[in-house]
């Protein structure tokens, strides 16, 4: 059965890769992409639902106000199937907030708070996730600020993202720049929770995701199948004459297609993202998906920092596929990623994704990395030697005096080109020069110690 499921997922991913083949790796272009800003008028904080007629299978949205109207319509259950069978086309870049003070949004919120589209809700309060198709058409949403950090009845956590919850949905070709998402529960820039959905062509740059007590991901916080426990709750309540509004029969079809892997993601890109789990515990954080049932292919994470005191961390997904057999990874890449966690199970997905960063090397032009200079040659004059170092990295070589004999510090200097000069009467001993090249988008950091002995 598991092999059949993986074959189905593989077919879906192949189709996704074909449809999104125009995406190219960010390697070498990330610094440029991290400065992208969307143009347009800043959202005035209102919601416009005048575009919605209720009798069409496709709608175009071109303003922030219309986008906020979509969230309002989902909340009000204006479309009885939560937009199932309906495509929402974004036809312009959207600016939700001025981002000049973005780095301080954690302390001082911007003017506009985004109300996530679709709610996971509950059996009693109503289950109303977004279930349609959202096509971003390559447009960018800039300055999204979401803060759902309250705890509900019995300590139930909130969910946060552009969508709070999607189910049996598709979200494609959408970009986010400078998004700030904070939640008491699952948090992701695209969605806090995704159930049996398809997500592709997503780009998230210059953003922050924070979860106080849940999974956190750069794209999706937590992935599931359609929540069967809700369906059981619906049936129990119905037995007592209480009828609530589940998402109807479509989710059963979605579960049949996606099987054990609740959501499939393909061709997603994350660059310059910070993820923080405040409580850690059994929660997870990942550059694409925080936790859950998921299949992820041909996606890339760069310049990621995950801070998680005790939870599980991963560059692509926050759970180890060895522990969660419902995770399927294929052809994912990463570079310049840092995970800060005390959990020994935290991992960098080395066995499940490829590090695109090349290893930098430093070669010394001299035949030996230890040079010897007789002290007799330093009695009357200084002595210079060129190290002639080379590196395969695109970064510049940095030369620095690393260690000297006692009282020998003032007798040696090294130039930016690698020319070492020992002054006359330099004391005997070993002088060390550190040659290094800094990490960049394409190469790792490298260091080499060269010794010069005066005897």
Could you tell me which residues come within 8 angstroms of residue 250 by beta carbon, excluding any fewer than 6 positions away? 81, 84, 131, 168
Q: Domain count of the chain?
A: 2
> Tell me: the pLDDT tens digits for 408-424?
999 999 999 999 999 99
Query: Of the candidates 295, 324, 355, which is a domain's last residue?
Result: 355
> Strands 191-195, 263-266: parallel, antiparallel or unpaired by DSSP?
unpaired
Are residues 382 and 288 located together in one domain of the fold?
no
Query: Of the candidates 337, 355, 373, which is a domain's last residue?
Result: 355
Are residues 163 and 301 located together in one domain of the fold?
yes
Are residues 351 and 371 located together in one domain of the fold?
no
Are residues 396 and 298 located together in one domain of the fold?
no
Task: State the CATH number of the domain containing residue 378.
Answer: 2.60.40.10
Note whether 157 and 122 are within 8 A (CB). no
Are residues 295 and 184 located together in one domain of the fold?
yes
Please, what is the angle between helix 2-19 and helix 250-258, to 10°? 100
Region 319-329 average pLDDT: 80
Q: pLDDT at residue 135 above 80?
A: yes
- pLDDT grade for 134, boundaries at 50, 70 and 90: very high
Instruction: Give the up-direction half-sphere exposure of residue 83: CA atoms within 13 A in the CB hemisphere.
Output: 30
> Tell me: the pLDDT tens digits for 418-443?
999 999 999 999 999 999 999 876 78
**Residue 114: exposed, middle, or buried by beta-carbon count in 10 A (0-12, 13-18, 19+)?**
buried
Q: pLDDT at residue 154 above 80?
A: no
Distance CA 248, CA 231 (A): 10
Are residues 329 and 404 located together in one domain of the fold?
no
What percent of the chain stands above pLDDT 90? Answer: 51
Note whether 157 and 120 are within 8 A (CB). no
Are residues 140 and 235 located together in one domain of the fold?
yes
> Strands 119-122, 145-148: parallel, antiparallel or unpaired by DSSP?
unpaired
Distance CA 226, CA 224 (A): 6
pLDDT of the residue at 328: 86
Distance CA 200, CA 21 (A): 11
Are residues 56 and 120 located together in one domain of the fold?
yes
Q: Which residues pair with 182 in a beta bridge?
A: 147, 210
pLDDT of the residue at 423: 95
Are residues 344 and 405 located together in one domain of the fold?
no
Are residues 336 and 300 located together in one domain of the fold?
yes
**Which comes out higher in pLDDT, residue 57 or 444?**
57
**Model pTM greater than 0.85?**
no
- pLDDT grade for 11, boundaries at 50, 70 and 90: very low
Are residues 223 and 244 located together in one domain of the fold?
yes
Are residues 93 and 153 located together in one domain of the fold?
yes
Query: Of the candidates 355, 385, 401, which is a domain's last residue?
Result: 355
- pLDDT grade for 153, boundaries at 50, 70 and 90: very low
pLDDT of the residue at 60: 98
- pLDDT grade for 40, boundaries at 50, 70 and 90: low
Please give the residue range of the domain that contains residue 375.
362-454
pLDDT of the residue at 126: 58
Least confident of 146-160, 198-212, 251-265: 251-265
Q: pLDDT at residue 81 above 80?
A: no
Note whether 273 and 209 are within 8 A (CB). yes
Region 369-375 average pLDDT: 86
Least confident of 205-209, 348-352, 395-399: 348-352
């Amino acid at each position: 059965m598991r092999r059949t499921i993986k074959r189905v997922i593989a077919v879906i991913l192949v189709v996704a890769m074909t449809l999104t083949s125009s995406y190219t790796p960010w390697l070498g272009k990330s610094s440029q992409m991290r400065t992208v800003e969307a143009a347009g008028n800043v959202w005035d904080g209102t919601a416009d639902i005048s575009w919605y007629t209720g009798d069409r299978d496709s709608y175009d949205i071109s303003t922030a106000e219309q986008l906020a109207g979509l969230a309002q319509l989902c909340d009000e259950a204006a479309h009885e199937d939560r937009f199932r069978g309906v495509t929402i086309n974004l036809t312009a870049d959207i600016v939700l907030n001025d981002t000049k003070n973005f780095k301080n949004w954690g302390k001082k919120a911007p003017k506009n708070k985004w109300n996530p589209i679709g709610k996971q809700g509950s059996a009693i309060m109503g289950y109303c996730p977004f279930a349609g198709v959202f096509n971003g058409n390559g447009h960018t949403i800039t300055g999204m600020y979401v803060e759902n950090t309250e705890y509900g009845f019995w300590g139930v956590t909130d969910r946060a993202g552009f969508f709070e919850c999607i189910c049996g949905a598709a979200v494609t070709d959408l970009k986010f720049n400078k998004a700030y998402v904070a939640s008491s529960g699952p948090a992701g820039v695209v969605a806090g929770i995704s159930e049996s959905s398809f997500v592709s062509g997503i780009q998230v740059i210059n953003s922050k995701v924070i979860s106080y007590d849940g999974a956190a991901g750069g794209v999706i916080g937590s992935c599931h199948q359609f929540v069967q426990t809700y369906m059981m709750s619906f049936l129990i309540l119905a037995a007592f004459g209480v009828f609530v509004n589940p998402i109807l029969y479509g989710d059963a079809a979605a579960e049949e297609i996606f099987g054990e892997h609740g959501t499939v993601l393909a061709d997603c890109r994350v660059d310059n993202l910070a993820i923080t789990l405040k409580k850690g515990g059994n929660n997870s954080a990942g550059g694409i998906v925080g936790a859950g049932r998921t299949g992820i292919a041909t996606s890339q994470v760069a310049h990621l920092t995950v801070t998680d005191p005790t939870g599980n961390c991963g560059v692509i997904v926050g759970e180890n596929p060895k522990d969660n057999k419902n995770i399927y990874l294929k052809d994912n890449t990463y570079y310049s990623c840092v995970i800060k966690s005390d959990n020994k199970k935290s991992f960098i997905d080395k066995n499940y994704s490829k590090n695109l960063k090349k290893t930098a090397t430093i070669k010394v032009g001299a035949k030996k990395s230890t040079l010897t200079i007789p002290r007799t040659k330093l009695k009357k004059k200084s002595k210079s030697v060129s190290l002639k170092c080379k590196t395969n990295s695109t970064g510049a070589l940095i030369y620095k005096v690393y260690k000297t004999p006692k009282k020998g510090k003032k007798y040696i200097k090294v130039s930016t080109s690698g020319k070492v000069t020992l002054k006359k009467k330099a004391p005997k001993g070993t002088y060390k020069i550190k040659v290094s090249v800094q990490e960049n988008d394409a190469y790792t950091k490298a260091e080499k110690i060269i010794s010069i002995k005066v005897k």
